[in-house]
Structures are given as structure tokens and as C-alpha cells.
Structure 1
Amino acid sequence: MIHKKAKHYIPENLEMKWENLEPLLIELRDRQINSVEELEHWLRDRSEFEAAIEEDFAWRYIRMTCDTVSEELLQNFQYFATEIEPKIAPYSNELNEKLVGSEYFDKLDNDKYFVYLRSIKKSLELFREENIPIQTEIQVEQQKYQSITGGMSVHIGDKEFTLEQAAAILKSPDREKRQEAWEKITGRRLENKQELDKLFDLLRVLRHKVALNAGFENFRDYMFQALGRFDYSPQDCYSFHEAIELEVVPVLKEQAEKRKAALGLEALKPWDTDVDITGHAPLKPFQNGEELIEKSIQCFSNISRYLGERLEIMKENKLFDVESRKGKAPGGYNYPLAETGAPFIFMNSANTFRDLTTMVHEGGHAVHTFLTADLELNDFKHCPSEVAELASMSMELISMDNWDVFFTDPEELKRAKRDQLIDVIKTLPWVAVVDQFQHWIYTNPDHTDEQRSEAWVQIYERFGASFVDWSGNKEAEINLWQKQLHIFEVPFYYIEYGMAQLGAIAVWKNYKENPEKGLQQYMDALKLGYTKTIKEIYETAGIKFDFSADYVKQLVAFVKSELEKL
């Protein structure tokens, strides 16, 4: 069993109420600091306080997403979002000012604290008191996406399915069944189209207001600073999109033509994109959530004893909720528990191959959480997404050679690997679509719903929607963006998936060439947390932080060569 780390500053069993928290913040703000050693001690005390706050918030979020219909769990979450978080914000800014204004600030070890202090300075630049209530409102409003989508289900035949469960039917060799499932899922999503449009319109307005208050022309430019994107610019993102269009979209076009020919179709419809082209039944790597966890532990153990033990610890401590059910929020995540040093994995398994890849993806995040658990400051564990997603996406590929735990039939194992590598290629254009769409949304803040729909289709078709015949289903195509929860809940968190996907291919290439060295480099990089720059972390992993057309071409060629071996 695992337990929260021992407290040195805050009281044990501190009840998370504002009247208990404020005295601690006042003490931190008013404490006299008379040496660099005392300043570092102050940093550790502040870190302990922040870790306790983060873990409390984590459990409120986890419980709410596990049961979106519970009014009590929603209120617990909203209490933190409205009564604690906004009151902490001005104190946090004062603590940042105290740190930067300390006469001992310049005596802190630059090598150890450079990345952390850079982020503190950026937070001070961006802080505006008038944004606190707006950000609170955004926090509350964006969670409505979970409540709306978590309650969606469809009836197919005499059975009720969550949308995740129904999506498994899209792999059926029976085309009529696929079409029925796709139409039911799409129809159900469209029932809430106007409600979600209205919600997003509100979020867009609030986010734009935050940006204006902070002195930016638009929310895109604000978020590049808020996300700490010190290593690349919006123009670099556009260049990355172009590289994907040039080097990846033609590969997908080639795959679509092969699919169309293999299925004997004149045109691919939206319900034809997931079925196995050999006519085999969908892959069934496990029967239920418990078996998924057990087999994942075995898979990770076969890579490294350490990796398997991390998932075993999570199982023993009930840190999984993996099965899909009505009333559960959509999607999947790994949520680090800052005080405990372990994570919680949440997902919506419908016993499909996709659920296997989700589990190893979130398992990569989980390993990252464990590897950074003992870093000195809580902020050292706050990795940027470009690093966090490298951990998860690399694990998807590293784990493939141990998927025989899930597939005892060698032909099924080949199919699984083939599907995974095709998914790797498909990820990049979808990332470009979602990212470029968000650039458009926030640099055109006064757009109408109709203009937004037009922009979505134009961007989507540029990156490969034209491979599929959407005639007769244009409303569904226009509405595809609403299924991407990141757009509602974590704006601009998406291009990182593309950057990390390239990095993951490079990590996997190293691993295939030398498994022991490749795995060690990967884990050494993750252990750094965010104590080094993104470029330095990638270099520690034995790869480059690069998303140029040449690098994209090189890595996609490697994936294609591995596909051909299968």
C-alpha cells in the first residue's frame, strides 16, 4: 500500500477549507528570509502546501468524472473551483513576487532552478487580478462538457450502449451494422449540437476577455505564453502543419486507396474507416476491465520489472477506473496525485483494441508520475505536454513487442501492430486539424457558428477528410470538432501530441536498435521532470526536439518500413 508523504510544514489531515488554508498562505507571505538556505526551505514549504492542494483537487475531479450524474460530487468540485482556487490565486502571485524580490533570489542555483524560475517570472507577467473571477467561471463552465457528453447513450437492437461501447461496432465486418452504429452515434451527438455550440461560444468570449485583460490581442497569443511555450512560436506550428500535409497526408491517401480496394467499395463512407480490411472480426485483446489491468501489468513486467510493479501498485491501491458505463465522463486520463506520488488512471473501456492502446498510453503517463515522485519541488513535476505526451506515446510503441500477452495468435499480433502503426500516422494529420482549428477560432474571436463550421470543414478536408465520402452526412462532418474534449476543456493542448508522436517514433527506433539502452534513455529523460528545458529532456532520451519537414519525412519513412515488415 502507498501513503501520502510525511508532512513537514502543513498539519497532518488538513481539512481543505479556506479558513484552514489562508493562515498558511499568510505565514508563507510574511515569513522573514535571511539566507539562501532559508529561501530554499521556504520553497520546500510552499511546495508541500501546493502538493496538498493539488491532490485534493485531483480527487474532486476524479470522483466527479467517474460519476457525472452525482450532484454532490459536482458541488464538491465546484466548491474548490469557486471558493478555494480563486482565493489562492492572489496569494500565489504575492508569493511569486516575494520569491523574485528576495535579496537571495540571484543566489539560487541557476542550473537547478532555471526552468522553475523562468515559469515563475512568466506567471508574474501574466497575472491580472481581474482575470481571477473570469477564470473561475471558465473552470465551472467548461466542466459542463463532461456532464452533457457523459450522459450520452444509444439503443442498438434491444441494448443500450454508451457511445464508447457503440463505437466498437464500427469494427464489425457487417457493413450494415457499422452504418447503423455510426448513424446512431452521430445522431446522438447532434442532439446536443446547439447546446455545445452555446457552451463553446461562452467559453470563447470568456477566454478572449482573459487575453485582452492580460494585454494580448487574442487568446492564442496569451496561451502560448501561459503554456510556457518558450521553444516554439505559432508560426512554427503552421510550419509543422505544412510538413504533415506534405509528408503524411499522401501516406494516408495511399492507405485509403488500399482500404477501398480491399473492401471492394466505390467510395469509403465514414463507417468504413475502422473495420479490418482482411474481413476478420475485430481484435479482442481482453474480456473485461479486470483482465485489461492484469494483462497490462504482465506486458509492462515483460519490458521491465520496474514498469510492471508500478501498475501492480496502482491495482493494489485501487487507482484504476477503466470500464465504460452510463454517467461516466468520456475519454481517458492519468491524473498524478501530488502528495501520494502515484497516479489514477481513468478510461472508458469497451473491450476493444483501442482500449489496449489507451491503457498503455496512460500507463506511460503513470510511469512518468512515479519516476518524478521524489523530485524536490512540486513544480519540478509539472512537465510541459511536449514531455508528458512523449512518455505516453513512446510507451504505446515500446510495449508492442510484448502484446503477445493480449494476442496469443501471431497473426492477430501482427494485425494489432499494423493497426497501431497506421494509427500513429493518422494521429499527425488529426493533430494538425485540431491545432489549426484552434488557431483560427481564437484569432477570429468574433466569428459566428456558421463561420466556425465553414472553417472546420476547410481545415479538416485539407488534411485528409477528402479520402472519405461525406455526401449525405455533411452535418456530421461539420460537427466532428465537438467530440474533441480538449477544445472545450484544455484549449491549445493538442499540437504537443504531434510533437511527442515524432519523438515517440524516435524513442521506439532507438529501442528497437538497442532495447536496454533505448529504455534507459527514455526513463532517464522522464526522471528529469521539468528541471531541464524540453530540448535537453529530448536529448537525454537520445532524440531531437524537431518537427521540420525533413525530420517528419525521416520518421514517417521509418514507420512505413516497419509496416511493410508486417
Structure 2
Amino acid sequence: MISAKERKYIPAQLDIKWETLEPFYQELSNRPINSVQELEHWLHDRSELEAALEEDFAWRYIRMTCDTASEELLQQFQYFATEIEPKIAPFNNELNKKLIDSEYVKQLDEKKYFIYLRSIKKSLELFREENIPVQTEIQVEQQKYQSITGAMSVTIGDKEFTLEQAAALLKDTDRAKRQEAWEKITARRLQDKQPLNELFDLLMVLRHKVARNADFENFRNYMFQALGRFDYTPQDCYAFHEAIEKEIVPILREQAQKRKEALGLDELKPWDMDVDITGKPALKPFTDGADLVNKSITCFNRISPYLGERLEIMKANGLFDVESRKGKAPGGYNYPLAETGAPFIFMNSANTFRDLTTMVHEGGHAVHTFLTADLELNDFKHCPSEVAELASMSMELISMDNWDVYFENEEELKRAKRDQLIDVLKTLPWVAVVDQFQHWLYTNPDHTDEQRTDAWKQIFERFGAGFIDWSEYPEAEANLWQKQLHIFEVPFYYIEYGMAQLGAIAVWKNYKENPEKGLQQYLDALKLGYTKTIKEIYETAGIKFDFSAGYVKDLAEFVKGELDKI
């Protein structure tokens, strides 16, 4: 069994509530610091307290998402969001000031602390006392998305399915069955269109208020600072969108044409995009959640015994919840446990090929959690998403050479690899759509629901609209954005998937050329956590942090070449 690191500052068994936490925050605030050694000791004590709080919050979030129907678990989560976080925020700001104002801060090792101190200074710039209650309200409100979507289910035949389980039927070779499943899923989503619109309208108002309180024109500009985007600008994002439109969309249009011809259709409908074009039944890489975990351990072991051991540790410690069920929040995630140094993987398996790629994706995040577990300060582990998603998306591609663990049949293995590479390319336009839509949302904060719908459709259609004929389903097309959890819960966290996808292709290219060196560079980059700039981390991985049109084109051609070989 794994266990949390030994505490040196706070008691081993500390009941996490404000009354027990406040004395530690008071002590850190009042402690005299008379040397650089004392300053570093103070940093370690603060880090230990923060790690304990992060892990406590993690478990509240995990338990709530595993059972969205439980009022008790929701209240435990909300207690932290409403009674602990708002009281910590002003203390954290004072502690940040104490650090930056210390006469010994200049004596800290600049190489070691540069990234950390840069983030602290940015937090001080952005902090506003009046934003604490607003951010608390946002935290509570945005969780309603999970409750609404977690309750969604459909009945097909005489069986009830979660939407994730029903989506597996979109791979059925019987077109009528696919259409029925898609129409039922869509009707169920549209049933909650209004409550989700109202929820988003409220979140928009609250987020804009946070931005204005912090003296920003809009929430987009605020978030670029809050997310610590020191390495690129909104203009760079727009240039990246254009590169995807120019270099990736034509390849996918060509693939859609091949799909149409193979299926013998005049037009592709929304239920035609997941079925295998060979007319063969959907891939079944595993039988149930336990089989998925076991096969993934074998797959990771083949890449490197170290990787397999990490998943073994998680399995032995009950750190997986992978089966889809009613009342469970949608989606998937890897949640790092800050003190334990291991993560929890949550997903909604419906025994599909997509679940295999979700598992290896979250497995990449899990490996990253383990590799950064022993970094000196808790903040050193807080990687920007451009790095975190590089860990996960690279693992999707690196693991492909060992997918015979899931597919004994050579033809099925080829199908799986082909589907994965097309998915890699499909990720990029969807990222561009979601990101550009968020830029529009928050730079037009007074928009109406109707204007929002028009903006979504214009952006979606610019990137091919999934290469589908939506003419009979305009409302479904207009409402697709509501499927994207990130828009509701983690605004502006999405462009990183595109940047990391390019990075992952480059990591995979290196791995194919020299597996031992490519893997080592990848692991060396992840071990850095966030102690170097994004550019330096990518360089350690043997790749470039670059999303120019030329780079997008080179990597797109590499993927297309690999597709042609299968």
C-alpha cells in the first residue's frame, strides 16, 4: 500500500476544517524570517499545508463525481468551496506578499525558484479581495453542470443507458440502429438545453465580474494572465486556428470523402462518423473495466517496467473508477493526490475503442504525477496544461506499438491504429473551434443566447462542421458546445490540447526513430514538473514549442504518411 509522505509541520491526522487550519495560516503569517535558510524552511512548511489541503479537496471532488446523486458528497465538496477556500484566499495573498517582500528572496537559487516566483508575482497582481465571494459562487455554480449531465440517460429497446454507453451504439453497422441511438442521445441533451443555457449565462456574468474587479477589459484577457500564459498571446491562438484550418481541415475533408464512398452514402449524417468503414463491427479491445486496467498494465510494462509498475500501484490501492453508470459524472480525468504522490483515474468505460485511448491518455497523466511526486515544493508539481497534456497525448501514440495486448487480430490492430491517427487529426479542428468560441464568448460578454448560437455555428462551419450534413438537425448542431465540459467548468483550458497534440506527434516521431532515447527524453521532460519554462520542457523532450503553420504542416504530413503505411 502507498501512503502519504510523513508530515513535518502539521499533525499527521488533521481534521480539515477552517477552525483547525487557521492557526497554521496565522503562524506562517506571523513567523519571523531571519535568513534565506529560514525562508526556505517556511516555504517547505507552507508547501506541506497546501499539499494536505489539495489532497483533501481532491477526494471531495472524486467522491462527488463518482456519485453525483449523493447530497452528502455534494455538501462535503461545497463545504470546502464555501467555508475553506474563501478564508484561505486572503491568507494566501498575505503569504505571497510576505515571500516577495522578504529581504532574503533575492538569495534564493534563481534557477530553482524562477518559475515559482514568477507565478507568485502574477497571483499578487491579480488578487482582489472582492473576487473571493464571486469565485466561491463560480465554484459552486459550475458543479451544477456535472449534476445536470450526470443524470442524463436514454432508453433504447427495453434497456436504460448512460449517454456514454449509448454512444457505443453509434459504431453499430446497422445504420437505422445508429440513427435511433444518435437521435435519442441528442433529444436527451436538448431536453436540458435551457437549464444549461441559464447556468452558462450566470457563469458568464460572474466571470466577467471577476475580470472587471481585477481591472481587465474582459475575462479572456484576465484568464490569459491567471493561467500564466507567459509564452504566447491571444493573437498566437488565432494564428494557430488558421494553421489548423489551412493544413488539417483539408486532410480530414479527404478522409470524410473516403468514408462517404466506403459507406455508399450521398451525405454523411451525424450517426455515420463512428462506424467502421470496412463494415465490420465495432472494435472490442477489452471485456470490462477490470480487463481494461489489466491489459493497460501489460501494455505499459512492455514500453517500460517502470510505467507498468505505476499502474500496478494504482490498481493495488483502489485508485481507478472506470465503469460508466447512472449518477456518475461524465468524462474522464486523472486527479493527482498531492501528499500521496499517486493519482486517481476516473472515466466512463462503455467497452469501446475510445475507452482504450482514454485509459492510455489518463495513464500518461498518471505517470506524470508519479514522476513529479518528489519535487521539493508542491507548487513545482503544478504544470501548465501545455505540459500536462503533452504527457497524456504522447502516451496515446507511444503505446500504439503495444496495442496487440488489446487486439490479437492483426486486422483489428491496424483498424485501431488507423482510427487513432484520424482521431489525432480530428482533435485539432475541434480544439480550434472550442478555443475560438471561448475567445468570442468572453470578448462579447453581453451577447444573447441567439447570438451565441450564431457565433458557434459560424465557427464550427469554418472548420468543416465535422464534415456532416446537419440540415435536418440545426438545433442539434447549434447546441453541440454544451457537450464540452471545459466551457462550463474550466474556461480557456482547451487550446493546450492542440499545442500538446502537436508536441505529442513530435514525441512519437522521436520515439519511432529511436525508442530508448525518445522515451527517455519524454520522461526527463515530465520529471521537471513546472521548474522550467514550457519551451525548455519541450526542448528537454527533444521537440519544439511551436504552433506555426509550417510546423503544423510538417507534423500533419508525418501523421498522413504513417496513416498511408497502415
Same fold (TM over 0.5): yes
Per the alignment, residue 519 of structure 1 pairs with 519
Q: How does 1:304-315 map to 2 (within 5 A)?
A: 304-315=304-315
Partner Cα distance (2:497, 2:470) in 1: 26
Partner Cα distance (1:344, 1:85) in 2: 22
Counterpart of 1:218 in structure 2: which amino acid?
N
Partner Cα distance (1:361, 1:129) in 2: 38
Partner Cα distance (1:534, 1:466) in 2: 31
Counterpart of 1:7 in structure 2: which amino acid?
R
Q: Helix, strand or coil: the match of 2:446? A: coil
Per the alignment, residue 545 of structure 1 pairs with 545
Counterpart of 1:388 in structure 2: which amino acid?
A
Q: How does 1:71-86 map to 2 (within 5 A)?
A: 71-86=71-86
Q: How does 1:405-420 map to 2 (within 5 A)?
A: 405-420=405-420
Tell me by how many angstroms 1:440 deviates: 0.1
Counterpart of 1:488 in structure 2: which amino acid?
F
Per the alignment, residue 398 of structure 1 pairs with 398
Partner Cα distance (1:467, 1:47) in 2: 49
Partner Cα distance (1:186, 1:302) in 2: 40
Aligned length: 566
Per the alignment, residue 505 of structure 1 pairs with 505
Q: How does 1:119-134 map to 2 (within 5 A)?
A: 119-134=119-134
CA deviations 1:324-370 (Å, max 9, x no partner) are 00000000000000000000000000000000000000000000000
Q: Helix, strand or coil: the match of 2:287? A: coil
Q: How does 1:463-542 map to 2 (within 5 A)?
A: 463-465=463-465, 467-542=467-542
Q: Helix, strand or coil: the match of 1:32? A: coil
Tell me by how many angstroms 1:321 deviates: 0.2
Tell me by how many angstroms 1:466 deviates: 6.5
Per the alignment, residue 348 of structure 2 pairs with 348
Q: Helix, strand or coil: the match of 1:154? A: strand
Q: Helix, strand or coil: the match of 1:198? A: helix
Unpaired runs of 5+ residues, structure 1, are none
CA deviations 1:158-217 (Å, max 9, x no partner) are 000000000000011100000000000000000000000000000000000000000000
Per the alignment, residue 171 of structure 1 pairs with 171
Partner Cα distance (1:109, 1:466) in 2: 50
Q: Helix, strand or coil: the match of 1:336? A: strand
Per the alignment, residue 254 of structure 2 pairs with 254
Tell me by how many angstroms 1:263 deviates: 0.3
Partner Cα distance (1:464, 1:281) in 2: 27
Tell me by how many angstroms 1:464 deviates: 1.0
Per the alignment, residue 102 of structure 2 pairs with 102
Tell me by how many angstroms 1:150 deviates: 0.2
TM-score (norm 2): 1.00
Partner Cα distance (1:162, 1:294) in 2: 24
Alignment of 1:215 onto 2:215: yes
Amino-acid identity (%): 82
Counterpart of 1:432 in structure 2: which amino acid?
A
Q: How does 1:272-283 map to 2 (within 5 A)?
A: 272-283=272-283
TM-score (norm 1): 1.00
Tell me by how many angstroms 1:383 deviates: 0.1
Partner Cα distance (2:473, 2:287) in 1: 34
Tell me by how many angstroms 1:462 deviates: 0.4
Partner Cα distance (1:495, 1:252) in 2: 19
Per the alignment, residue 377 of structure 2 pairs with 377
Unpaired runs of 5+ residues, structure 2, are none
Q: Helix, strand or coil: the match of 2:425? A: helix
Counterpart of 1:118 in structure 2: which amino acid?
R
Per the alignment, residue 25 of structure 2 pairs with 25
CA RMSD of aligned residues (A): 0.4
Q: Helix, strand or coil: the match of 1:531? A: coil
Counterpart of 1:125 in structure 2: which amino acid?
E
CA deviations 1:212-241 (Å, max 9, x no partner) are 000000000000000000000000000000
CA deviations 1:73-97 (Å, max 9, x no partner) are 0000000000000000000000000
CA deviations 1:465-508 (Å, max 9, x no partner) are 16210011000000000000000000000000000000000000
Tell me by how many angstroms 1:444 deviates: 0.1
